[in-house]
Amino acid sequence: MALKSSKKIETNVYELEVSVDAATWNDAIDKAFDKTKKDIQLPGFRKGKAPKAMVFKQYGKEAFYNEAIDIVFPEAVDAAIKEAGLELVDSPFDGDVKEINEDGALFTFKATVKPEIKLGKYKGLKVTACPVEVTDAEVDEQINSMRERSARLVEVDRKVKNGDLATIDFTGSVDGKEFEGGHADDYELEIGSGSFIPGFEDQIIGHKAGDEFDVNVKFPEEYAAELAGKDAVFAIKLHSVKEKELPEVDDEFVKDVSEFDTLAELKEDTKKHLLEHKKEHADQEVEEGLAKELAAIVDAEIPEVMFEREVDEAVQNFAYQIQQAGMDPEMYLQYTGMSIEDLRAQFRERAEVQVKCKLALDEIAKLEKIEVTDDDIKARYEEMAKMYEVEVSVVESAFPSDQMAKDLKGSKALEIVKAAAKITEEKPAAKKAPAKKAPAEKKAPAKKAPAEKKPAAKKAPAEKKPAAKKAPAKKADK
């Protein structure tokens, strides 16, 4: 197999012409025969047992050309791309067989390549960062959260108030007709959690166990289409009322909920972890700011497919996060009134920044002559294996070494940019009391809140590979 020509036919698109020599071609035909012979039957022979020479004489080798092209094409394309020195950003397309006979084959295909870019000044970029500090109030808030998680639920004989856990049966109807998913028995609802649509929980306040009553609500306009904007009535039966009994925050409490013996030790450790978390967050904000600055100094005609692939990955990651939270992505979109196009549009701007930033970092790695050693790659594999709590071999299989080397070059390039950046601290604006609004989560009342789950074991991310090479769209006729 040989690359006959490689020519640029438009911005970021090349057309390559590849020839397949007679030996390689006839070997592919033999493989095509072996693959299909089980379905071939000639008079006097059992199905699949006819000799190859007789089959070729009866039908001609041409009958196996299509299958042979499928066999030879992927390897020929990979070899041609490597020989041409091209870096593709999408799968080859518009494959076309120009010549085909016993002496070999000649075909062409097109390929979208990584764009050439012009890069502005990347040293001295200006970004702002929030100062990293932890207040006593933040430490107390964390410890109070631990206190809340350790609370006992105690059944009480009184009217429901905000913060109580009410066990209810409910049946919802619109225009006198029950709707799908509008019924549940023995549902435990935390009053004030915002789990249900606005107004639902408020109307349970003031009732006692044993009460039966109606709750009248109006579904939000952005709710699921079949219920959006409609008035609904929920018949409620209140079975029990429970309140939280919080433990005292003292040394005994600390011993029960942590590895420490005293409240002072717990506070010190909490402050330490909050500080680490804030430092990580501040560093991420700086890197995000630098990504935007780098994207702004990239001058290039970038193939649309690069943006679309970045959006694809963002959507996949989002769907995974939704599933990890115990929700169905399609149902989430339905409840939020969004379409997949709306979701993709939300990720588009960030995708453009990410693509341009990656191109900038690739260029910086070349300009700075950044090298990545085998030891660098090994150390990164071990770091990721520890992070995801898997064997190193799992990470190695998910991330090929050439891809890891490229990622590490990008990371080293970013460190150079960060080290030369002008980072100024900017205190966040004082927070105002939030305006009262409907809960962000829009759930149908019938959906029971998922039970509390332990975090899933961390896994190595799915392997990121370029799309599989496809056979040419056009082939010789059998």
Same domain? For 211 and 106 the reply is: no
Enter the tokens of residue 258. Answer: 């942590």
Instruction: Return the pLDDT at 427.
Output: 66
- pLDDT class of 203 with cuts at 50, 70, 90: very high
Same domain? For 303 and 401 the reply is: yes
From residue 143, alpha-carbon distances to 28, 150, 255, 312 in Å are 69, 11, 13, 40
The answer to whether the beta carbons of residues 13 and 94 sit under 8 Å apart is: no
Taking Cα atoms as reference points, which of 217, 162, 168 lies closest to residue 189?
168
Same domain? For 234 and 288 the reply is: no
The answer to whether the beta carbons of residues 294 and 356 sit under 8 Å apart is: yes
Q: Is residue 139 part of a domain?
A: no
Instruction: Return the pLDDT at 438.
Output: 31
Q: Is residue 443 part of a domain?
A: no
The size of the chain, in residues, is: 478
- Domain with 420 in it: what CATH number? 1.10.3120.10
Same domain? For 293 and 223 the reply is: no
* Cα gap 375→402, rounded to integer Å: 13
Beta strands 126-129 and 212-218, pairing class: unpaired
Q: Is residue 451 part of a domain?
A: no
Same domain? For 286 and 213 the reply is: no
* More reliable by pLDDT, 193 or 334: 193
Q: Is residue 164 part of a domain?
A: yes
Tell me the pLDDT tens digit for each residue of 305-332.
999 999 999 999 999 999 988 888 988 8
- Domain with 165 in it: what CATH number? 3.10.50.40
Same domain? For 269 and 414 the reply is: yes
Instruction: Return the pLDDT at 428.
Output: 57
Tell me the pLDDT tens digit for each residue of 18-29.
999 999 999 999
Enter the tokens of residue 127. Answer: 């970004």
Look at phi and psi of residue 390 and say left if phi exceeds 0, alpha if psi is from -120 to 50, else beta.
beta
- pLDDT class of 168 with cuts at 50, 70, 90: very high
Is pLDDT of 17 > 60? yes
Same domain? For 95 and 165 the reply is: no
Angle at 74 (CA atoms; ends 59, 306), nearest 5 degrees: 140
Instruction: Return the pLDDT at 429.
Output: 57
Taking Cα atoms as reference points, which of 231, 245, 166 lies closest to residue 205?
166
Instruction: Return the pLDDT at 401.
Output: 93
Average pLDDT, the chain: 87
Q: Is residue 476 part of a domain?
A: no
Is pLDDT of 225 > 80? no
Is pLDDT of 224 > 60? yes
Instruction: Return the pLDDT at 228.
Output: 86
Q: Is residue 323 part of a domain?
A: yes
Angle at 350 (CA atoms; ends 412, 89), nearest 5 degrees: 65
Residue ranges making up the domain that contains 360 = 126-133+265-425
Same domain? For 225 and 335 the reply is: no
Same domain? For 393 and 299 the reply is: yes
Tell me the pLDDT tens digit for each residue of 362-395.
999 999 999 999 999 999 999 999 999 999 999 9
From residue 98, alpha-carbon distances to 16, 61, 67, 79, 201 in Å are 12, 18, 16, 19, 71
Same domain? For 311 and 392 the reply is: yes
> In the sheet where 13-20 sits, what is the strand order?
2-10, 13-20, 104-112, 93-101
- Domain with 93 in it: what CATH number? 3.30.70.1050
Q: Is residue 454 part of a domain?
A: no
Instruction: Return the pLDDT at 457.
Output: 34
Domain end residue (candidates: 425, 442, 462):
425
Same domain? For 293 and 398 the reply is: yes
Looking at the structure of the chain, the number of domains it has is 3
Same domain? For 358 and 301 the reply is: yes
Cross-strand pairs, 183:
171
* Cα gap 37→51, rounded to integer Å: 9
Q: Is residue 279 part of a domain?
A: yes
Is pLDDT of 157 > 60? yes
This prediction has a pTM of 0.69
